[in-house]
Structure 1
Amino acid sequence: MRLNKLFIATLLAFSTLALQSCLKDQEDFFDESSSERMQAVLENTKAVLTSSDNGWIFDYYPDRNLSYGGIIYALKFDDKKVSVRCELSPDMEKTSFYKLNTNNGPVLSFDSYNTLMHFFATPSSGEYQAKDGDFEFMIMNVTEDLITLRGNRTGNTMYLRRLNEDPDAFVHAIGKIYDTNVLPSANGSVGANAITCKNDINAHYMEFFWGGDNSQSSGEYYLSTSTGIRFKNPVTVNGATISELNYTFDDSNKSGAFTGEDSNGNSISLSGVLPETYAFFDEFKGSFTFSYANGAKNVNCTLVPDKVNGIITISGLNRNYDLIATYNRSLGCMELCGQVVAVTSDSQILFMGGTSSSFYAKSSVGFFFIKNPQNPTHYEIMPNNDPYSSKCNNSFVIIESADKYYIPPTSYRINGDYNISNVKAFIKN
Structure 2
Amino acid sequence: MRKYLSSLLLLCATLTWQSCLHENTTVFEQSAIERIETAAQQTQQVLESSPNGWLLRYYAGQGYSGPAYSILMKFTKGHATVLSDYDPDKTTTAAYSIAKDQGVVLSFDSYNEALHQFSRVWEGSGARGIEGDYEFMVLSTSNDTIRLRGKKWKNDMELIRLPETTDWKSYITNIYNLQEQLTTQFFALQLGQDTLTQATLNPQLRRLSFTIDNYSYDAPFTFAPNGIELLRPVTLKGKKYTSFTWQKESKSFVNDELSLGLIIPKSYRKRDEWIGDWRLNCNAFSLSKAVNTRRFPVVLHILKYSERQPDLFEANLTFNGQTYGPLNMVYDPAVGTIKLPGGQILADKSGKYPGGILLTPGIIKTGTLVQEPEIGVTFKWNPDQNKADVEYDETTQGKIDAFMGIGINYQQQPMLDEKGNPVVPILIANIRDVSPVKQ
So what's the TM-score if we normalise by structure 2? Answer: 0.67
- More displaced stretch, 171-180 vs 95-104: 171-180
Residue in 2 aligned with 1:312?
Answer: 312
Local SS of the residue matching 2:246: strand
Structure 1 residue 328 and structure 2 residue 335: aligned?
Answer: no
205, 208, 225: which is aligned to 1:206?
Answer: 208
Residue in 1 aligned with 2:254?
Answer: 259
Q: Deviations over 1:140-159 (max 9, x none)?
A: 11122211101111211101
Structure 1 residue 85 and structure 2 residue 89: aligned?
Answer: no
Closer/same/farther in 2, CA of residues 32 and 65 from structure 1, 3 Å limit: closer
365, 383, 389: which is aligned to 2:390?
Answer: 383
Local SS of the residue matching 2:133: coil
Residue in 1 aligned with 2:259?
Answer: 269
Closer/same/farther in 2, CA of residues 41 and 175 from structure 1, 3 Å limit: farther
Q: Deviations over 1:344-372 (max 9, x none)?
A: xxx99631247999976224653335579
What is the distance in 2 between the residues matched to 1:185 and 1:359? 38
Structure 1 residue 48 and structure 2 residue 49: aligned?
Answer: no
1:84 Cα shift? 1.9
Task: For 2:369, give the aligned amino acid.
Answer: A
What is the distance in 1 between the residues matched to 2:361 and 2:97? 48
Residue in 1 aligned with 2:139?
Answer: 140
Q: Quick check: 1:76–1:83 contact (8 Å CA) kept in 2?
A: yes
367, 380, 383: which is aligned to 2:377?
Answer: 367
- More displaced stretch, 136-145 vs 31-40: 31-40
Closer/same/farther in 2, CA of residues 311 and 114 from structure 1, 3 Å limit: farther
Q: Deviations over 1:31-71 (max 9, x none)?
A: 95433332332222222222333321111111123222432
RMSD: 4.8
Task: For 2:62, give the aligned amino acid.
Answer: R
Q: Quick check: 2:69–2:222 contact (8 Å CA) kept in 1?
A: yes
- Gapped regions of structure 2 (runs ≥ 5): 1-6, 8-13, 281-292, 347-354, 409-413
Task: For 1:206, give the aligned amino acid.
Answer: L
Closer/same/farther in 2, CA of residues 130 and 367 from structure 1, 3 Å limit: closer
Closer/same/farther in 2, CA of residues 218 and 128 from structure 1, 3 Å limit: closer
What is the distance in 1 between the residues matched to 2:345 and 2:367? 16
Task: For 1:173, give the aligned amino acid.
Answer: N
Closer/same/farther in 2, CA of residues 359 and 341 from structure 1, 3 Å limit: farther
- Gapped regions of structure 1 (runs ≥ 5): 1-7, 9-14, 262-266, 409-416
Closer/same/farther in 2, CA of residues 139 and 402 from structure 1, 3 Å limit: farther
So what's the TM-score if we normalise by structure 1? Answer: 0.69
Percent of residue pairs bearing the same amino acid type: 22
What is the distance in 1 between the residues matched to 2:46 and 2:270? 39
1:296 Cα shift? 8.1
Local SS of the residue matching 2:115: coil
Local SS of the residue matching 2:116: coil
1:301 Cα shift? 6.2
Q: Quick check: 1:220–1:231 contact (8 Å CA) kept in 2?
A: no
Local SS of the residue matching 1:116: helix
Local SS of the residue matching 2:73: strand
What is the distance in 1 between the residues matched to 2:70 and 2:245? 16
Residue in 2 aligned with 1:241?
Answer: 240
Closer/same/farther in 2, CA of residues 193 and 69 from structure 1, 3 Å limit: same
1:233 Cα shift? 2.3
TM alignment of 1:393-404, pairs within 5 A: 397-400=405-408, 401=414
TM alignment of 1:2-401, pairs within 5 A: 33-124=31-122, 127-164=126-163, 165-181=166-182, 183-187=184-188, 189-191=190-192, 193-201=194-202, 203-207=205-209, 214-221=212-219, 222-249=221-248, 256-261=251-256, 267-275=257-265, 278=268, 303-304=305-306, 312=312, 314=314, 323-339=327-343, 341=345, 350-353=358-361, 361-362=369-370, 363=372, 366-369=376-379, 382-386=389-393, 391-392=401-402, 397-400=405-408, 401=414
Local SS of the residue matching 1:160: strand
Q: Quick check: 2:53–2:161 contact (8 Å CA) kept in 1?
A: yes
Structure 1 residue 406 and structure 2 residue 422: aligned?
Answer: yes
Q: Deviations over 1:133-182 (max 9, x none)?
A: 11100011112221110111121110111222111111122233344446
What is the distance in 2 between the residues matched to 1:296 and 1:128? 35
Closer/same/farther in 2, CA of residues 207 and 369 from structure 1, 3 Å limit: closer
What is the distance in 1 between the residues matched to 2:216 and 2:365? 51
Q: Quick check: 1:183–1:273 contact (8 Å CA) kept in 2?
A: yes
What is the distance in 2 between the residues matched to 1:405 and 1:352? 15
Local SS of the residue matching 2:50: coil
Q: Deviations over 1:295-343 (max 9, x none)?
A: 7878796644776xx973748889x99655444344233311221649x
Q: Quick check: 1:355–1:420 contact (8 Å CA) kept in 2?
A: no
1:289 Cα shift? 7.3
What is the distance in 2 between the residues matched to 1:184 and 1:125? 24
Local SS of the residue matching 1:129: coil
Q: Deviations over 1:230-270 (max 9, x none)?
A: 121222112211111112456xxxx7312112xxxxx2233
Residue in 1 aligned with 2:350?
Answer: none
Q: Quick check: 1:369–1:380 contact (8 Å CA) kept in 2?
A: no
- More displaced stretch, 174-183 vs 56-65: 174-183
Closer/same/farther in 2, CA of residues 365 and 187 from structure 1, 3 Å limit: closer
1:101 Cα shift? 1.2
